[in-house]
A and B are shown apart, each in its own frame.
Chain A
Amino acid sequence: QKEVEQNSGPLSVPEGAIASLNCTYSDRGSQSFFWYRQYSGKSPELIMFIYSNGDKEDGRFTAQLNKASQYVSLLIRDSQPSDSATYLCAVTRMDSSYKLIFGSGTRLLVRP
């Protein structure tokens, strides 16, 4: 089992719809959770982080965390073609290194 799992996609949604991206993780001690957006050939760009159970909203983006079920999700409201990218979920581990463990990413396609 991978430490951080994401569906590779592609997830295809029409413009204006809500895109829902999911991520599960295996380390129950994980405390910090991040979503990065990566356009093809470009570097990962941090878009959201969440530390506590519940929802966190920032503009069109909402991160949701459920530690009991070990999943974190990202909702993108009013999806735009410019949101088409790969979304990487990253989780910290509880060992002393505090490294980020990345999922392989979900590719999102927003159809005009």
Chain B
Amino acid sequence: DADVTQTPRNRITKTGKRIMLECSQTKGHDRMYWYRQDPGLGLRLIYYSFDVKDINKGEISDGYSVSRQAQAKFSLSLESAIPNQTALYFCATSDRRKGQPQHFGDGTRLSIL
């Protein structure tokens, strides 16, 4: 089983719909992250959480919200989806020690029509 699991893997939806992307991990890591990736723009950080009570905005948080339901679960919501949120979304986790690498889930390909 994957250490970092994202659901769904693919989603096609319409403008204005509410969408939730879920991430769960079995690595025991405290830190969790949500990124989006667009061609030519690399990985951009949406939100990150250092523990259940510590949630922080990343560089592109507008139009997104998150919930850290437990140490192992971190969800990303698009309250009212718009076409320019079409992208590949990744969840990642890392250990709390300084300078540790991040480990990525398999991603969710989201298309908004």
Residues of A within 8 A of B (CB): 8, 31-32, 34, 41-46, 49, 51, 88, 90, 92, 97-100, 102-105
Which segment, of B60-68, B73-81, B101-109, faces chain A? B101-109
- Contact-residue size bin, chain B (C-beta under 8 Å from the other chain): 20 to 34
Residues of A within 8 A of B48 (CB): 97, 99
Given A99-B45, A102-B42, CB of A43 within 8 Å of CB of B99: no
Contact of B42 among A43, A49, A88 (CB under 8 A): A88
Residues of A within 8 A of B20 (CB): none
Chain A, Cβ-Cβ closest to B106 = A43
Quick one: which of B19-50 are within 8 Å of A by CB? Answer: 33, 40-43, 45, 48
Q: Let me know if A103 and B103 touch, CB within 8 A.
A: no
Residues of A within 8 A of B90 (CB): 43-44
Residues of B within 8 A of A (CB): 33, 40-43, 45, 48, 56, 58, 88, 90, 98-107, 109
Q: Let me know if A49 and B101 touch, CB within 8 A.
A: yes
Contact of A88 among B33, B40, B43 (CB under 8 A): B43
Q: Let me know if B56 and A97 touch, CB within 8 A.
A: yes
A35 to B10, CA, bound (A): 27
Residues of A within 8 A of B33 (CB): 99
Chain B, Cβ-Cβ closest to A35 = B101
Nearest CB on B from A83, distance (A) = 19
Chain A, Cβ-Cβ closest to B109 = A41
Residues of A within 8 A of B40 (CB): 8, 104
25 contacts between A and B (CB under 8 A): A31-B98, A31-B99, A32-B99, A32-B100, A32-B101, A41-B88, A42-B106, A43-B90, A44-B43, A44-B90, A44-B104, A46-B102, A49-B101, A51-B99, A88-B42, A90-B102, A92-B99, A98-B99, A99-B33, A99-B48, A102-B42, A102-B43, A104-B40, A104-B42, A105-B42
